[in-house]
Structure 1
Amino acid sequence: MSIRIVPEGELTQAAGEIPPLLLPDPKTLYLTRARRLELLAAGHAMADYLNFCARIAHAQHALVAEHPLALPARDAYFTECARHGLPPLGSAAWPRDAVWQDLLDALLGKLLPGTTGIVADAIMTLQGMERSEREARASALLAGRFDSVSAAEALFVWAALSVYFSQLAAALKISTVTEPDESRHQCPVCSQGPVASIVKIGDKAGLRYLHCTLCESEWHMVRVKCSNCESTRDIGYWSLEAQAPGIRAESCGDCHSYLKVMALDKDMALEAVADDLATLMLDAATEEQGFARSAINPFLFPGS
């Protein structure tokens, strides 16, 4: 089943129906992530990097408050996307506003003080770069061409793009409908992949949602199903329970990929991006079994 976005008011959700899509709340999510990263850093082998990523998340939180974005009207664009079943913020169709580069400049300005080494070099390189070059890097990353952008530069470009897209996603006035085809491996809002999946608690107890690595939206997918190829035939689970309670790697024997599943009933403080980054030991153990990660973490790019 795929999720298609339709104009607000065209469809209403029936009582008790599973919400197919949860739009983000950028006013709180980056602060929650920053605090979780700081908590996870205590005593962690990657403490310095987790704390640096917490700085980025704090800066993202500040940008949301300092640079609030309104969703452009863009005439009939959103109606046409709904008509043709296209993600409204998909990189193939959405014409990015130059404001995302203003967000990047502000982010870099917040992070450069106190930063040294390769990371500081990457920040200064981006600061001195022509906007056309930065647009080219953004386009490459959104198209999945990670090897064409250095991992250090990708970290900051993606962080700014996330603040841009998450605010636009939060402002969407839409409804959603599920349709009978197999295409839930990409975000129905921006077309990017999930960083991890979350099994919810509360009024959505037991439901699994995939968390977008870019716009921070979440979309429903049934459990015990590959989030990459949607096979249900050969699903396996791997865990390091003592080190990471509530987190398992869900592997697929058909496409040989895996994605982490985080159960909030085991640990309600789990946060998709932060806890994915802090459990790279589980990635290593799963990859030793012959599976390849199907997603990127926005703080860990496989660039050059």
Structure 2
Amino acid sequence: MSIQIVPASERSPGVGEIAALQLPALLPPYAQRAQRLQQLAQGHGMTDYLLWAADVVAAQQVVAEALPLPAEEVAILHAALLQPAQAPLHSAHWQRSPHWLALLDQLLAHMAQQPRMQTTAVQQALARLQQADTAQREAWASALLGALRAEAPADTHTLPEAGVAQLLWSALSLYWRQLASQLPASGEATLGAQRHLCPLCGHVPTGSLVHGGAQAGLRYLQCSLCECQWHVVRSTCTNCDSTSALDYWCLEDEKAPIKAESCGDCQTYLKAFYQQADHQLELVADDLASLALDAEMEEKGLARSGINPLMLPLLAATETDSLP
């Protein structure tokens, strides 16, 4: 099954209580994510990076509140739903407005004032972006989005350096999250492939969230770009749909709140986060704080099928210091 995006008024009444798609909330939960990162940083081997990430997320919260999506851009979201054959906010087709550049400028200005942003690598990345003109920023953004869709760039020189890419992504993700939160759409399950990619923007997930409470046991993948969540049945590989070669790994015991689901058919894995085991889980923050599990999976020769927006994979043909 795959997810088909439809106008909210056309949602099928036969879906029952399992929503095929959950749009991100209009008010971003960045404050909650920042708090969780600060909590996880205490006594952690990656304390400095987790605290740096918390500052990035806190900046996203400030800018999201100061610069909501303009009304004129909200209005054109309706037109995006008139092309049901493709993801309505697909990053290869969506025409970015100047709003994302305004978000980027505000993020850079806010980050530049933070004490943990004063390292050489961060300052160099901030300076590169602040000095770049609109054409350069747009070229970097298009190349970055394409690379994270696993598309080979026409010119590898357009790829941004690692530090620049990480800061760019913080603005792009915020922009797409604002778009997704305002999209007047719903989702319905249909036959088809590509369910491992976000039905709104076409990007891979960060991980899967196994809900608790009234939705106990339901699994949703969370997009690494727009942060919408879409339903995928459990015991199915989130990358290739296999049901025959799945294994589950954890660093603690079988009741651990974070596990890696691996597939022997496609040799990939994606982490799953179980809300019933830990009600304080925040998928992006807890994923970043559990990279030891990723290291164990890589030692087994398995490739991660998801991306954490706060630690992007290295891009081909880039040479620079990583952040922070």
TM-score for the superposition, normalised by structure 2? 0.88
TM alignment of 1:217-236, pairs within 5 A: 217-236=228-247
The alpha-carbon distance between structure 1 residues 260 and 124, as it changes in their structure 2 partners (threshold 3 A), is same
Q: Distance in 2 between matches of 1:271 and 1:288?
A: 26
SS in 1 for 2:27: helix
Task: Quote the offset at 1:76 in angstroms.
Answer: 6.8
Q: Distance in 2 between matches of 1:102 and 1:204?
A: 38
Deviations 1:196-254 (A, max 9, x none): 10000122111000011111100000111111111112011111016x93101111111
Q: Distance in 2 between matches of 1:253 and 1:12?
A: 35
SS in 1 for 2:189: strand
RMSD across aligned positions (CA):
1.8
SS in 2 for 1:175: strand
The alpha-carbon distance between structure 1 residues 189 and 203, as it changes in their structure 2 partners (threshold 3 A), is same
1:286 aligns with 2:297: yes
SS in 1 for 2:93: coil
SS in 2 for 1:259: strand
**Which is further off, 68-77 or 101-110?**
68-77
Q: Which runs of 5+ in 2 are unaligned?
A: 151-155, 319-324
Q: 1:120 is aligned with what amino acid? A: Q
What is aligned with 2:322?
none
TM alignment of 1:1-304, pairs within 5 A: 1-14=1-14, 16-69=16-69, 70=71, 71-74=73-76, 77-82=79-84, 84=85, 86-113=86-113, 114=115, 115-144=118-147, 148-241=159-252, 245-301=256-312, 302-303=314-315, 304=318
Task: Quote the offset at 1:149 in angstroms.
Answer: 2.4
Deviations 1:103-152 (A, max 9, x none): 01100111112322111110111000111111111111211258832221
- Asked whether the equivalents of residues 59 and 110 of structure 2 are also in contact (C-alpha less than 8 Å), the reply is yes
Q: Distance in 2 between matches of 1:256 and 1:137?
A: 31
Deviations 1:79-111 (A, max 9, x none): 4222x2x11111122101011011011001111
Q: Distance in 1 between matches of 2:294 and 2:81?
A: 41
Q: Distance in 2 between matches of 1:186 and 1:21?
A: 13
How many residue pairs match? The answer is 301
Q: Distance in 2 between matches of 1:192 and 1:15?
A: 24
Q: Distance in 1 between matches of 2:181 and 2:214?
A: 21
Q: Distance in 2 between matches of 1:15 and 1:136?
A: 41
Q: Distance in 2 between matches of 1:149 and 1:236?
A: 36
Tell me the percent identity: 45
- Asked whether the equivalents of residues 74 and 182 of structure 2 are also in contact (C-alpha less than 8 Å), the reply is no
Q: 2:171 is aligned with what amino acid? A: A
**Which is further off, 7-16 or 249-258?**
7-16
SS in 1 for 2:147: coil
What is aligned with 2:321?
none
Deviations 1:168-219 (A, max 9, x none): 1111111222111222111111111100100001221110000111111000
TM-score for the superposition, normalised by structure 1? 0.94
Deviations 1:27-82 (A, max 9, x none): 24111111110000000011011001000111101111100114443387324222
Q: Which runs of 5+ in 1 are unaligned?
A: none
Q: Distance in 1 between matches of 2:258 and 2:120?
A: 33
The alpha-carbon distance between structure 1 residues 287 and 26, as it changes in their structure 2 partners (threshold 3 A), is farther
- Asked whether the equivalents of residues 26 and 182 of structure 2 are also in contact (C-alpha less than 8 Å), the reply is no
Following TM superposition, the consecutive aligned residue runs of length 4 or more in structure 1 with deviations greater than 6 angstroms are none
